[in-house]
Amino acid sequence: MEKFIIYQAFTRLFGNKNNTNKPSGTIRENGCGKFNDFTSEAFNGIKELGTTHIWYTGIIEHASKTGYPEFGIQASPAEIVKGQAGSPYAIRDYYDVCPDLAENIPERMKEFENLVQRTHEAGLKVIIDFVPNHVSRGYKSDSKPESVFCFGEHDNQSDAFNPNNNFYYIPGQLLRLPNIPDAYQPDVYSEFPAKVTGNDCFSANPGDHDWYETVKLNYGVDYLNGHTKHFSPIPNTWYKMLEVLTFWASKEIDGFRCDMAEMVPVEFWEWVIPEIKSRFPSVIFIAEVYNPQLYREYINKGKFDYLYDKVGLYDTLKGVLQGRQSATDITKCWQDIDDIKQHMLNFLENHDEQRIASDFFIKDPFTIIPALVISTCLNPGPYMHYFAQELGETAADAEGFSGFDGRTTIFDYWGVKSQQNWMNNGKFDGGQLTDEQKRLRQLYVDILNFARTEKCVSEGMFYGLQWANKDNPEYDNDKIYSFLRYTTEEVLIFICNFSDEIKVVNLEIPEDAKEMSGLKGLCHCKGEKISFNFGSTDIEFAQKRFLRINHEVEAKDVLIYRIRK
């Protein structure tokens, strides 16, 4: 079974060649990437990273301050748009694509369909967002099939909760947005009665940090009365979302990344995912779920193929890299999800998280090697990579709405400098990369392809060595993490050094590890010593060295021993 490597491309930013970068600039000032930026050259560069799937982020039409009135597309009211371009998670039409991404706006859906076809011809699979929990304020679809009714079209707005409504309401109260002190001003967005905000803010006065640009969808849960569930008969919202998923699955996409899936009742997923897979059996579903107590429910009952491992491995690796946690804490990460490890998706960057090379994370992108190897090789589940991560993107700009926070903006139009260096005006040959960026990219190429192609990683068994070295005076438990992955043919021994110093490690491999992995009884065998910074060399092992292997591991590096049986 091949390990998935998912490349997340923030579509609006990926191919943008404009380097004006005016804070809060318009699309005409700062430019915007297009579907057509994904050329054969771009795909070749993406595939060099071992990529198997591309997650095109921000495809579906969302609220924006940019309008195209000549094509019947009006700008959203400014009061309910964050930034100039708007959040891709404030959907304003589930049945259309973002017009910003098209060269020929009337043909925008055809351009997206061509993108799907080009991606498949390049040997890659397509993932897009499904945003089930909320929509933009003022949602109105002008592209839906005639047989489909719009969300909220038949709601009884006098009911705070009604299982037949698509939205929740705050009867008798006018919405007061945080950026409009007087909601009665003319020519501003008005909403009466106020709808409940997307992050479960049951107030007519959402704050600056609420998702005030969105409205929560009603799946039949009465949140203000004991979270009572009204799932029989099936709520109207469920059927509408089945229609949305069917619409996009019919475009021959290969998977959905489901935004904030845990804010939607698991019973909906239990119903809708089998419905979709009965017609599109190869489509995968990835859940953004942050509560570890819900992991098994959303896999076993909700039928998700993969879940984010954010609160576990990502947060722990970040803590270890920043010196706030011990490497030994990684053990709990795999122990907590050992029975569902094949369903857990790992990452070190995405659109929600700070860039590794930012001032807010670890600054030096080369120090990521031990975390990257662990994130890609600790378990057989997918690994997700964010565009320009391999280039050491620093996100050192205050682009607009989100400000200077170490994240690449999802709200504004912008040119990502490191990405533009790699794009080299559309050649996608890295022609403008610095020597350091080239070296970093090659490290990612080597590590991601290693993780994807190694049978020990995708199909092999795992054995953690940390416990066996807890009392070892020649092993720094806070800075070193080690483990085995093995098949019937070979064993990989990983020694990961998070320290700023070279570490001499006298690793103990216990008897049961040798027994389980097949090392026991081997008198002599050939092996390979792999260092991503310093290449690899062939070595020969004798049986006595399996109990204690003496290593010198470079700072912020990993040694991998491949032992062939």
Residues 485 and 404 in one domain: no
Write the pLDDT tens digit of every residue in 201-224: 999 999 999 999 999 999 999 999
Q: Which of 394, 418, 453 is the last residue of a domain?
A: 453
**Residue 184 pLDDT more than 70?**
no
Mean pLDDT, the chain, integer: 93
Contacts of 193 (CB under 8 A, 6+ apart): 157, 158, 169, 170, 171, 172, 173, 174
Q: Which residue has the tokens 């947005």?
A: 177
- Nearest-angstrom CA–CA distance, 497 and 477: 10
Question: What are the backbone angles phi and psi of residue 459, rounded to the nearest 5°?
Answer: -130, -10
pLDDT of residue 529: 66
pLDDT value at 525 more than 90: no
What's the pLDDT tens digit per position in 540-550? 554 444 444 55
- Dist CA 125 CA 279 (whole Å): 18
Please list, in sequence order, all residues whose beta carbon lies within 8 angstroms of the beta carbon of residue 252, skipping any fewer than 6 positions away.
116, 117, 120, 126
Note if the bond before 265 is cis, omega within 30 degrees.
no
pLDDT tens for each residue of 333-382: 999 999 999 999 999 999 999 999 999 999 999 999 999 999 999 999 99
**Closest of 160, 154, 166 to residue 240, by C-alpha:** 166
H-assigned helices in 59-217? 108-121
Specify whether the CB–CB gap between 220 and 265 falls below 8 A.
Answer: yes
Residues 399 and 493 in one domain: no
Q: Which domain holds residue 540?
A: 459-564
**Whole-angstrom Cα distance, residue 387 to residue 404?**
19
Instruction: Give the H or E element holding residue 14.
Output: helix 11-14
Nearest Cα to Cα of residue 376 among 247, 483, 518: 483
Any domain includes 264: yes
Q: What is the CATH number of the domain that holds 383?
A: 3.20.20.80
pLDDT on residue 138: 86
| Assigned domain for 229 exists | no
Position 195 in a domain: no
Residue 159 lies in a domain: no
Instruction: Supply the pLDDT for residue 182.
Output: 56
CA 447 – CA 65 distance, rounded (Å): 41
Query: Residue 239: inside a domain, yes or no?
Result: yes
398 and 476 together in one domain = no
End residue of a domain, out of 397, 431, 453: 453
Last residue of a domain, one of 422, 453, 484: 453
431 and 295 inside one domain? yes
- Residue 419 shares a structural domain with residue 272: yes
Tokens matching residue 521: 């009884």
Query: What value does the mean pLDDT take over residues 520-540?
Result: 63
Residue 528 has pLDDT above 90, yes or no: no
**Do 408 and 297 share a structural domain?**
yes
Do 480 and 368 lie in one domain? The reply is: no
**Are 468 and 438 within one domain?**
no
pTM reported for the whole predicted model = 0.96
The answer, yes or no, to whether residue 187 has pLDDT greater than 70, is no
Residues 254 and 401 in one domain: yes
Confirm if 340 and 299 have CB atoms less than 8 A apart: yes
- The reported pLDDT for the residue numbered 546 is 44
Lowest-pLDDT choice from 93-102, 120-129, 411-420, 513-522:
513-522
Please state, in angstroms and rounded to a whole number, the distance separating the CA atoms of residues 254 and 125: 6
Where residue 535 sits, what CATH number does that domain have? Answer: 2.60.40.1180
Which pLDDT value is given to residue 179?
A: 73
Cα 510 to Cα 474: distance, rounded to the nearest angstrom: 15
CA distance 551 to 558: 11
Q: Is the pLDDT of residue 468 over 60?
A: yes
Let me know whether 326 and 435 are in one domain.
Answer: yes
Say yes or no to pLDDT of 177 above 50: yes
Q: Residues 436, 294: one domain?
A: yes
Q: What local confidence, expressed as pLDDT, does residue 520 receive?
A: 78
The pLDDT of residue 519:
81
Percent of the chain residues topping a pLDDT of 90: 87
In angstroms, the CA 527 to CA 564 distance is 6
- φ/ψ of residue 53, rounded to 5: -135, 145
Question: Is-contact 36 14, C-beta < 8 A?
Answer: no
Residue 203 one-letter amino acid: S
Structural domain includes residue 369: yes
The reply to whether 145 falls in a domain is: no
pLDDT band at 538 (very low <50, low <70, confident <90, very high): low
Reply yes or no on whether the pLDDT at 500 is more than 80: yes
Residues 429 and 463 in one domain: no
Distance CA 67, CA 173 (A): 30
From residue 545, alpha-carbon distances to 468, 477, 516, 521, 524 in Å are: 16, 21, 17, 12, 10
pLDDT in tens, 59-75: 999 999 999 999 999 99
- What domain count does the chain have? 2
Q: For residues 371 and 317, is the Cβ–Cβ distance under 8 A?
A: yes
Beta bridge partners of 551: 505
Residue 178 within a domain? no
In this prediction, residues 431-450 reach a mean pLDDT of: 96
Residue 37 has pLDDT above 80, yes or no: yes
